[in-house]
Amino acid sequence: MKRNRLTSSTTLGFLAAGVLSANFATATAVQAEELNLCWAAWDPANALVELSKDFEEQSGHTMSFEFVPWPNFADRMLNELNSGGKLCDLLIGDSQWIGGAAENGQYLKLNEFFEQESISMDDFLPATVVGYAQWPKNTPNYYALPAYADVVGWTYRKDWFSRPEIQAEFMEQHGRELDVPKTLEELKQIGEFFQGRDIDGKTVYGAAIYTERGSEGLTMGLTNALYNYGFQYEDPDKPYELEGFVNSQGSIDGLEFYKSLYDCCTPPGASDAYMSQNIDAYKSGQVAMQMNFAFIWPGVEADPVVGNGNSGYFSNPAGPTGQFAQLGGQGISVVANSENTDAALEYIKWFAQQEVQQKWWDVGGAPALRAVVEAPDFAQSQPFAQTFLDSMAIVKDFWAEPSYASLLIATQSRMHNYVVAGQGTAKEALDGLVKDWDEIFEDEGKK
């Protein structure tokens, strides 16, 4: 991800504001602590290291970091929480963890702290509050501050799309201009159009999509079709009632669409692809489009080949019943077992400030503070900023139940067997998923 190191003059200007540094005068005078922040190992984490140097200077505390590669992140951090370990004072944990961490007392509840420090969740994008901070969902019970706003979206080779000969051929085939797809069916048409095409003497393919089975990849991709064809996790009027919602006809159609997209339009060897594989496929010129979380967009824009105006960005297109996108991103929580909770709360207070949230965007982060992302000049601040805003307005998320890991394992298995391995039918896969999920909720006493 593109990052800009803060200059000493910027830091001095930041400190000169006075109001921020004053917040930490007492803490510095009393006792300096060493805080360990845990997160995934990716470019945004590197940007946070840069940003946190300001906190160290202002507070007197020392920051250390434990960053774990994404394939191992959930296992490593959930084991840490479940074992009562003391590795992390602060944890930027996935949105799906919030239920289990709250119910198991692993995250501090932050309501009283937020009230004391005048931190209002109304000041953050609503989807990030529900997705990253609340448990139960849609109740004013907060266990995190929205930290990194992320969502699945699309990147495309704008330079390829704009070539006159390609435009002319697409118009001849489809009777419309080759442009950003408004619907999933249009996206598939574009994928089919580029599949196996020769561009500059190289065979290219339609789209890189998520298919990975080992962690969460396929689920994070597939839901972008399911949601837009009518899939729902449960009966809105009867919690945990799954029959007819998870396996509705719309859900079946959405699953069949995603499999057809995999079959028609992906590059060779794409049977176990997630974030890094899609980035590689796109930057190496293999595909015309890629599905990926928005965190990659600064890195795309900075790339010497696909950046500098050669790429464009668009939100997940609509389906027959609506337009939604899979939520990514995380909230930052204070680990209940930390021995440095006061200092950790200072970090939360510091991070929530508008000046810091603006700097978070400037150094390569993704803030959720409305004063930053809804500012008049935000949409023009980066080529992908408007797409980020549009995408964050249409998000849905996977289960955040304490049993989310079991729910996810079942989803990955059932869906991969159908989409990638070609086993059975879409209806059989979704009926089987209802059975798996029912058993999990029955074991928890929720059915």
User: How confident is the model over 383-424, as pLDDT tens digits?
Assistant: 999 999 999 999 999 999 999 999 999 999 999 999 999 999
**Same domain for 196 and 290?**
yes
Measured between alpha carbons, how far is 218 from 277 in angstroms, rounded to an integer?
13
**Same domain for 34 and 133?**
yes
- Residue 420 in any domain: the answer is no
- Residue 353 in any domain: the answer is yes
- The number of CA neighbours under 13 Å toward the Cβ of 64 is 9
pLDDT band for position 319 (50/70/90)? very high
Final residue before a domain boundary, out of 396, 427, 442? 396
Q: Which is more confident, 11 or 273?
A: 273
Return the pLDDT at 397.
96
Q: Is the pTM of this model over 0.75?
A: yes
Amino acid at 56: E
Return the pLDDT at 174.
97
Task: Answer yes or no: are the C-beta atoms of 134 and 275 closer than 8 Å.
Answer: no
CATH number for the domain that contains residue 392: 3.40.190.10
**Same domain for 133 and 183?**
no
**Same domain for 127 and 208?**
no
pLDDT band for position 31 (50/70/90)? confident
pLDDT band for position 13 (50/70/90)? very low
Task: Provide the pairing of β-strand 145-157 with 287-293.
Answer: antiparallel
Q: How many independent structural domains does the chain possess? A: 2
Measured between alpha carbons, how far is 298 from 71 in angstroms, rounded to an integer?
22
Instruction: Give per-residue burial for 38-52: e unless 16+ CB within 10 Å, then b.
Output: bbbebbbbbbbbbbb
- Concatenated DSSP letters of 183-242: BHHHHHHHHHHHTTEEETTEEEEEEE-----SSSHHHHHHHHHHHHHT--SSBTTBTT--
Instruction: Count Cβ atoms below 10 Å from residue 396 Cβ, excluding itself.
Output: 20
Instruction: Count Cβ atoms below 10 Å from residue 6 Cβ, excluding itself.
Output: 16
Residue 94: which residues within 8 A CB-CB, separation 6 or more?
A: 73, 74, 330
Q: Which is more confident, 26 or 306?
A: 306
**Same domain for 171 and 248?**
yes
**Same domain for 209 and 277?**
yes
Residue 318 domain boundaries: 152-326
